[in-house]
Copies of this chain bind each other. A is one copy, B any other.
Amino acid sequence: MKEIETIDMLNQLNIDLQGDVGSPLGFIAGGLHVGLRRKKRDFGWIYSTTEASAAGVYTLNRFKAAPLIVTEETIYMNQSLQAIVVNSANANSCTGARGLQDAKDTQAWAAEQLNIEPYKIGVASTGVIGSFLPMEKIQYGTQHILNEKYNQSQFFNQSILTTDTTTKHLSVQVEIDGKTVTIGGTAKGSGMVHPNMATMLGFITTDANVDARTLDNCLKQATDQSFNMITVDGDTSTNDMVLCMANGQVDHQSLDENHPEWHKFIYAFNFVSQYLAKSIAKDGEGATKLVTAKVIGAYHDKEAKKIAKSIVSSNLVKTAIHGEDANFGRIVTAIGYASKHVEPSETNVSLCQLPVLEHGMHLPFDEQLLKARLTEDNIVIEVSVGDGDGEAAAYGCDLSYEYVRINASYRT
């Protein structure tokens, strides 16, 4: 039943993998190179031609970077934004009062260019922690926000990357009140990505008509099933956030839980979030495979989430998958330390659709067949831990030499 519903919903979406935050009506995005990185674009922006409802979800790390503090406060106070500016290469984190002032100056400069109030601007940074932003470069960036030469949304998608190897973006369309509504998303990973978000930035734009409170609920529930369910290395950064803007440029009845087509909007919104989240997991530093852990039968979803995350977070599982080794004992181990409620005798595990553990006991399996399936790019681990209704999926990647190489020399 649940699956049929899902396929039916999926058929109603018009998915464009070339789309991004610039796809919905009235949104413009761009970016350029201002000299924070050696050659690549490192400064970007999104703006809407009209004010937009805004919502954000933010890192749970106790050390919050200056731009995150400023943006969180801005959205908390006004529930709306008209633009977001982002820089990569420098996180503006652990930078004290000067860092906060730098984030506010960035707001002010961008506002001046766009001729709007500073409190209509969100700011975000990603990169190395512990140095001040070179503000002349940031200022230079803000001066080009309206320059048509740089206003291509793919430039924005590029400008926010750090160790990512690919841009991450899409847009989907769905009919609401017979009108086409577009939701666009762009994100970056790719190290330090973990449940509750970590050096990941996500931006979602839509031309739907949604008030800020509804948008906030929508973003929170989507995040719980997407950005909070991915992990690359278990670290949660100081800068992570997902920001969402809805400018209402499509003329339909305002969307909220009482709207008859609300479920379609939510489905599309979740689709965007999950696609971006999986793209981040798949492009984890050094990753060669996307690893999905699906858990069912837990006594509630929270429990299932803990187990699913534990599996995709385990370095031993990640290295075994990198080595295409059918070492299911490591999966069992990760299940066993995830939760006190796991009952070995009620636990079954399949790896790449081959059952390897039943009622806590290993099963004979076709070693050659499993070995062959482990060479694929998408590895799925399915776990059943009882007859409860709790279920969850978590997404991660393998752990490779390349991960170590990237991270042993990131800063210097």
Q: A residues bordering B, Cβ < 8 Å?
A: 60-64, 91, 93-96, 128-131, 191-192, 196, 233-238, 313-316, 319-320, 322-323, 325-330, 332-337, 339-340, 342-344, 347, 356-357, 359-362, 399-401, 403-405, 407-412
Contact = CB atoms under 8 A, between A and B. Distances in A.
A238 B362 contact: no
Contacts of A314: 233-235
Contacts of A128: 327, 329
B62 A336 contact: yes
Nearest to A365: B130
B411 A316 contact: no
Contact of A343 (B62, B325, B332, B357): B62
B405 A96 contact: no
Given A325-B411, A360-B94, A411-B327, A404 B343 contact: no
A158 to B, nearest CB: 24
Given A94-B362, A316-B192, A408-B322, A238 B332 contact: yes
Contacts of A410: 320, 323, 325, 327
A237 B362 CA distance: 16
- A63, A328, A333, A361 — most chain B CB neighbours (10 Å): A333
A214 B128 CA distance: 50
Contact of A234 (B315, B342, B359): B315
A166 B131 CA distance: 41
B320 A95 contact: no
28 contacts: A61-B336, A61-B337, A62-B336, A62-B340, A63-B332, A63-B344, A91-B329, A94-B329, A94-B332, A94-B357, A94-B361, A96-B359, A96-B360, A131-B362, A233-B314, A234-B234, A235-B316, A235-B333, A237-B333, A238-B329, A316-B407, A319-B403, A323-B408, A323-B409, A323-B410, A325-B410, A327-B411, A401-B401
Nearest to A98: B361
Contacts of A342: 62-63
A337 B235 contact: yes
